[in-house]
Amino acid sequence: MNLKPEAIAFVNLAAQQALIRDRLNAAITAVLDHGQYIMGPEITALEGHLAAFTGARHALTCSSGTDALLIAMLALGIGPGDAILCPAFTYTATPESIALLGASPVFVDVDENTFNVTLPGLEAGLAAAKMAGLKAKGIIAVDLFGQPASYTEINAFAQANGLYVIADAAQSFGASVGGARVGTLAHVTATSFFPAKPLGCYGDGGAIFTDDNDLALVMDSIRLHGRATGGDKYDIARVGVNGRLDTLQAAILLEKLVIFEDEIVKRNAVADFYSRGLATFTRVPCVAPNVRSVWAQYTLRLPSAAVRTHVAAGLKADGIPTAVYYPRPLHHQTAYRHFPAQSGGLPISERLVDEVLSLPMHPYLRQDEQDRIINTIGRLL
């Protein structure tokens, strides 16, 4: 008899839900009872908890990680003629709001170990912006796969060149460097609560963090259609957006936040187990000293696109899902290829798209499941 192996989940939201289902039901029922679906009391409560969790002075919830970036850049006054440096090896949402504001993303290459932006890349990006006749205004550093970028270097470079630093922490909420959590590492930090992110709600959601009081007031106004601070609903100070988080999502996030630190510990245990088992077969992820990742993805590097295809197909046949984040660098995408990029090409980003393969990663992955994944990869390689 040929027993088909049990399928393994890429992200197991059902296991998490089972753990806190009663509390979620109670939290949702409480919102249904009070009926304040927009900016209800759970929003204020969640923002207090998010500020306490990160150590940021201000935490503002919003409608998504993409809107968090948009609101931050609207508040910073980014617009036509401006350039924002950002990595080419990231999700589309990173450059999207730059382009929507009429500004220009300038794509830079990434480090081959951390997959995050580097100082030489940023320097080359700055030169490319100047050459294109653009005014460089800022950097969006992405914390790819859950590992914070090197903000100490990035912030110093930005300060020397008069640039804003915006952290795209959509994948890294909960991560830290030394004792400092994501949310406090850059001037302004945007994160996402998309269901599959390390801290996810049951729909779209996001948050913005800053220690800058003035910026916080403007971002708060922008997410509420530009309402004047302290004014009523029909006192409009600036052009804003409908950028609020739903009260129901805040209620869900409040319950998920209770178990989040424990989940971060579990995610790190899963990552350590993978790396111990896989390091002899292939290149495992590299975390910089003093950094605690939240492992939004556990991403291997394989020697070539052909080997990757072989490994992904072999895992799939064994009921093990994988994903390629990301199959194309953004400076090659139809929507973005007319924007400037660091001169001389972006060889690392261009290579990574052929070599990366992300494995199942969530806090409830069992050791027997991991053993099966590791053994299958060993056999395939």
CA atoms within 13 A on the CB side of 115: 30
CB of 91 to ligand PLP, least distance (A): 4
Which CB atom, from 151 or from 376, has the smaller least distance to ligand PLP? 151
CB of 67 to ligand PLP, least distance (A): 7
Which CB atom, from 143 or from 369, has the smaller least distance to ligand PLP? 143
CA atoms within 13 A on the CB side of 254: 24
Chain-centre distance for alpha carbon 69: 11
Which CB atom, from 90 or from 247, has the smaller least distance to ligand PLP? 90
Beta bridge partners of 159: none
Which CB atom, from 168 or from 318, has the smaller least distance to ligand PLP? 168
Which residues in 44-69 are b (16+ Cβ under 10 Å) and which e?
eebbebbbebbbbebbbbbbbbbbbb
Lookup: tokens for 179: 């004792």
Instruction: Identify whether the C-beta of residue 149 lies closer than 8 Å to the C-beta of residue 116.
Output: yes
CB of 90 to ligand PLP, least distance (A): 5
The values of phi and psi at residue 164, to 5°, are -80, 150
Instruction: Identify whether the C-beta of residue 83 lies closer than 8 Å to the C-beta of residue 164.
Output: no
CB of 307 to ligand PLP, least distance (A): 25
Instruction: Identify whether the C-beta of residue 299 lies closer than 8 Å to the C-beta of residue 113.
Output: no
Instruction: Identify whether the C-beta of residue 199 lies closer than 8 Å to the C-beta of residue 174.
Output: yes
CB of 310 to ligand PLP, least distance (A): 27
Which CB atom, from 64 or from 221, has the smaller least distance to ligand PLP? 64
Which CB atom, from 171 or from 376, has the smaller least distance to ligand PLP? 171
Instruction: Identify whether the C-beta of residue 83 lies closer than 8 Å to the C-beta of residue 95.
Output: no
CA atoms within 13 A on the CB side of 275: 14
Give me the residues that bind ligand PLP (CB under 6 A), please.
Answer: 64-66, 90-91, 93-94, 142, 168, 170-171, 192, 194, 204, 206
Which CB atom, from 360 or from 377, has the smaller least distance to ligand PLP? 360
Q: Specify the residue for token string 């993805």.
A: 297
3-state secondary structure of 182: coil
Which CB atom, from 125 or from 372, has the smaller least distance to ligand PLP? 125
Lookup: tokens for 348: 């690392």
CB of 82 to ligand PLP, least distance (A): 20
Which CB atom, from 148 or from 376, has the smaller least distance to ligand PLP? 148
Which CB atom, from 145 or from 372, has the smaller least distance to ligand PLP? 145
CB of 93 to ligand PLP, least distance (A): 3
CB of 168 to ligand PLP, least distance (A): 5
Instruction: Identify whether the C-beta of residue 92 lies closer than 8 Å to the C-beta of residue 233.
Output: no
Beta bridge partners of 180: 177
CB of 325 to ligand PLP, least distance (A): 8
Helix ranges (H only) for the chain are 13-34, 41-54, 65-75, 93-100, 119-131, 151-160, 213-223, 247-258, 260-278, 305-317, 347-355, 367-380
CB of 142 to ligand PLP, least distance (A): 5
Q: Which of 143, 67, 135 is nearest to 104 (CA)?
A: 135
Residue showing the smallest CB distance to ligand PLP in the complex: 65
